[in-house]
């Protein structure tokens, strides 16, 4: 299991490398405050990243830290408050979350504000499920949220090189190669 290789004591949080990317999996439903095993592991893991070898750092978690959908409001807030500073200081590039059965992409954020040095946040919990989609987003939309859609879909992340990546999101019912949302970084 990758968790042992990354020095984690749990398969609920761990990291691994794929090509030029360091991927961090965080546990939304396990202790995460300072001095917990997950927190101290994350500090250590982030400190070991060699940006010359893995210039991209991506974090994945279940409950989104930023969410303007009416479903699951605030469920990721405690872990965000505990760990967001660590990700920001380590210059994490992207944070992907699920849980909300819809798609939403945010601007780069730190501490609930637009920040060009913060990660780009994407909620992509729309892969399909028996409960159906979560259809309602808060009105008016937050200026932090750049794209919202309550449709089934899938995403594609393409790391181009050390400095550029392309994220695209596609509705599952599209029969052509139309990209419903995308961003090049």
**CA dist., res. 162 & res. 143, Å (int):** 29
Active-site residue, from 22, 35, 62, 72: 72
**CA dist., res. 34 & res. 43, Å (int):** 10
Cis before 140? omega within 30: yes
CB burial string 4-40: b at 16+ within 10 A, e below: eebebeeebbbbebeebbbbbbbbbeeebeeeebbbe
> Is 72 in the active site?
yes
Regarding beta strands 120-124 and 145-149, do their DSSP bridges make them parallel or antiparallel, or are they unpaired? unpaired
What residues act catalytically? 72
């Amino acid at each position: 299991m990758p968790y042992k290789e990354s020095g984690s004591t749990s398969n609920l949080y761990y990291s691994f490398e794929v090509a030029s990317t360091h991927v961090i999996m965080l546990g939304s439903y396990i202790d995460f405050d300072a001095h917990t095993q997950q927190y101290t592991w994350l500090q250590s893991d982030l400190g070991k990243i060699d940006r010359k070898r893995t210039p991209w750092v991506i974090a994945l978690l279940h409950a989104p830290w930023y969410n303007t959908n009416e479903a699951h409001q605030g469920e990721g807030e405690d872990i965000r408050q505990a760990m967001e500073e660590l990700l920001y200081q380590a210059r994490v590039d992207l944070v992907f979350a699920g849980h909300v059965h819809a798609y939403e992409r945010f601007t780069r954020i730190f501490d609930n504000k637009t920040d060009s040095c913060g990660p780009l946040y994407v909620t992509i919990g729309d892969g399909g499920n028996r409960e159906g989609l979560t259809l309602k987003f808060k009105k008016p939309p937050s200026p932090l949220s750049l794209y919202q859609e309550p449709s089934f879909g899938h995403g594609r992340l393409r790391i181009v090189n050390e400095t550029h990546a392309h994220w695209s999101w596609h509705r599952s019912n599209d029969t052509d190669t139309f990209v419903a949302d995308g961003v090049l970084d």
